[in-house]
């Protein structure tokens, strides 16, 4: 038996028996995942992070796995989503100590998803390390999926998103982001298994494990060359205005007119473009009060031009049996349609338990935080005969939601106001998420933002044109509509989720040889 620190038994014992060292390793492993995303883009740290997690958790007793998962999530969200502090403190009129407390609660709450997943993992594989390794990718995926919809969902910081520029990008149109995430976690598990087997002189098994692990990494670059959809040969000229309006004055009544004048001035010289895009709530007054502005825009547009802008909507709704506000986007000119946002951001666009929370602190009374969710099944906008499927801000983070709605249109469009997150990594993560949605659907996506990064994303998820953050500028370029569907658009994430369930159902104790956690 090998007793040096590099042996499985010695290293597992060191990390699992030393509570503080194991806890620090898990937090660091979670934090490493943040480095896989923009702006860092060290995608290869994904499997490394998983390997570190497994080094600590595989030998642990089931009762300790909830804490292990929570610590992993704490490292991930504490580094990758702490930008929420900026929106609470700087733009939410909240005292710094309260903002810190709310950020800690937010991060700690999100980490519970990992804790719950790891707890379930321990229940399914109480004492067999091989079974734990086989089940780990399935448990991780189901945990991500649960996080995508429970309590409105937080589909952010998925390991697969890091591969917009990584070698597994070719899997996105086939399996979606969950499929890539599955294989990143499976790779970490295979590295652990291969190292473990090699150290215990089972070279054939170790080699076979590593070869199987490499297959998708070799196939994915070839899949990246496949044209899953067909692009039109006719280019659509576009112009997108990035006004860089300071968040502090965004909803100040004294500056509303100045904002509209800013966007009108930026559009001079571009009224003849096929498609003009203003960002989220670029017109900061409801459509029932903006008739003169909309009419002026319509008069300025060329005969074949359409302007699409974010604008609040106010009117009577049968769904709520009364008058309500929607965060909306509308087409003006040679186009038509109104879209109401369906995926609202808690506290930013609506306040849960508002009868209790409103008035307690400034963050619970943000401007325009009384929106109502739009109905499902909404139609695309029309722009010069092109069907354009819009997504407002946070909506683009939901992979299946985007894939399903993309079937209706040949061009995707997303508008956002990432000014809430200041000069943090949040807006850059948001841009990378939008790139993954374009890659999954094989469609161009035009992204318009208030303060960056406004961009044209092609059907392979690559940036063709972009404006840097915090600049007032106009982006111009061309986009191409697409026909047909990627495999992921047809199936969504269900094949990957089904695979995860199959692994859980069929990996029984009786088919796994008894092996102790230490490998002895």
Closest Cα to residue 157, out of 33, 25, 32?
A: 33
Structure tokens at 464: 């063709």
Phi, psi of 345, deg, nearest 5: -90, 120
Please calculate the CA angle 73-79-85 and round it to the nearest 5 degrees.
110
Residue from 429, 366, 424 nearest 394 by CA: 429
Catalytic amino acids? 280, 341, 393
- Report the C-alpha gap between 294 and 468 in whole angstroms: 29
Neighbour count for residue 405 (Cβ, 10 Å): 24
* Integer Cα distance of 269 and 272 in angstroms: 8
Instruction: From residue 10, give the alpha-carbon distance in Å to each of 6, 63, 517.
Output: 7, 22, 11
Cβ atoms of residues 437 and 445 within 8 Å: yes
**How many CA within 13 A on the CB side of residue 175?**
25
Token pair in block for residue 27: 């937090």
**CB distance 486 to 441 below 8 Å:** yes
Q: φ, ψ for residue 467 (rounded to 5)?
A: -110, 130
């Amino acid at each position: 038996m090998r007793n040096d620190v590099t042996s499985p038994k010695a290293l597992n014992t060191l990390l699992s028996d030393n509570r503080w060292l194991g806890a620090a390793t898990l937090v660091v492993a979670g934090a490493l995942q943040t480095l896989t995303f923009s702006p860092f883009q060290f995608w290869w740290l994904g499997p490394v992070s998983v390997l570190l997690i497994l080094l600590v958790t595989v030998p642990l007793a089931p009762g300790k796995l909830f804490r292990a998962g929570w610590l992993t999530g704490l490292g991930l969200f504490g580094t990758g989503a702490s930008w929420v502090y900026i929106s609470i403190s700087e733009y939410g009129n909240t005292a710094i100590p309260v903002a810190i407390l709310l950020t800690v609660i937010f991060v700690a709450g999100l980490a519970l998803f990992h804790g719950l997943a790891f707890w379930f993992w321990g229940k399914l594989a109480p004492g067999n390390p091989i079974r734990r390794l086989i089940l780990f990718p399935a448990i991780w995926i189901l945990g991500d999926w649960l996080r995508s919809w429970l309590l409105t969902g937080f589909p952010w910081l998925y390991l697969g998103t890091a591969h917009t520029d990584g070698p597994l990008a070719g899997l996105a149109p086939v399996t979606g982001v969950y499929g890539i995430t599955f294989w990143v976690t499976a790779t970490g598990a295979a590295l652990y298994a291969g190292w473990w087997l090699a150290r215990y002189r089972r070279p054939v098994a170790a080699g076979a494990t590593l070869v199987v692990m490499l297959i998708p990494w070799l196939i994915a670059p070839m899949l990246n060359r496949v044209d899953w959809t067909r692009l039109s040969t006719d280019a659509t000229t576009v112009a997108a205005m990035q006004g860089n309006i300071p968040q502090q004055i965004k909803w100040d009544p004294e500056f509303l007119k100045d904002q509209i004048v800013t966007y009108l001035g930026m559009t001079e010289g571009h009224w003849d473009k096929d498609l003009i895009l203003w960002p989220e709530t670029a017109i900061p007054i409801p459509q029932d009060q903006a008739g003169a502005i909309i009419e002026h825009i319509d008069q300025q547009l060329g005969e074949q031009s359409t302007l699409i802008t974010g604008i609040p909507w106010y009117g009577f709704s049968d769904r709520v049996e009364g008058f309500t506000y929607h965060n909306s986007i509308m087409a003006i000119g040679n186009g038509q349609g109104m879209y109401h946002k369906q995926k609202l951001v808690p506290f930013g666009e609506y306040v849960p338990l508002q009868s209790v929370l409103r008035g307690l602190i400034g963050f619970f009374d943000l401007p325009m935080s009384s929106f109502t969710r739009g109905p499902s099944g909404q139609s695309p906008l029309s722009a010069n005969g092109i069907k354009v499927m819009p997504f407002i801000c946070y909506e683009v983070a939901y992979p299946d939601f985007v894939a399903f709605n993309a079937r209706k249109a040949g061009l995707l469009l997303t508008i956002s106001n990432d000014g809430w997150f200041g000069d943090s990594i949040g807006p850059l993560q948001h841009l990378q998420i939008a790139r993954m949605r374009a890659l999954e659907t094989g469609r161009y996506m035009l992204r318009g933002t208030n303060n960056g990064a406004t961009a044209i994303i092609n059907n392979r998820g690559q940036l063709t044109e972009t404006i840097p953050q915090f600049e007032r500028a106009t982006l111009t370029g061309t986009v191409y509509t697409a026909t047909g569907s990627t495999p992921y658009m047809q199936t969504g994430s269900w094949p990957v989720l089904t695979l995860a369930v199959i692994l859980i159902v069929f990996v029984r104790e009786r088919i796994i040889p008894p092996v102790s956690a230490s490998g002895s």
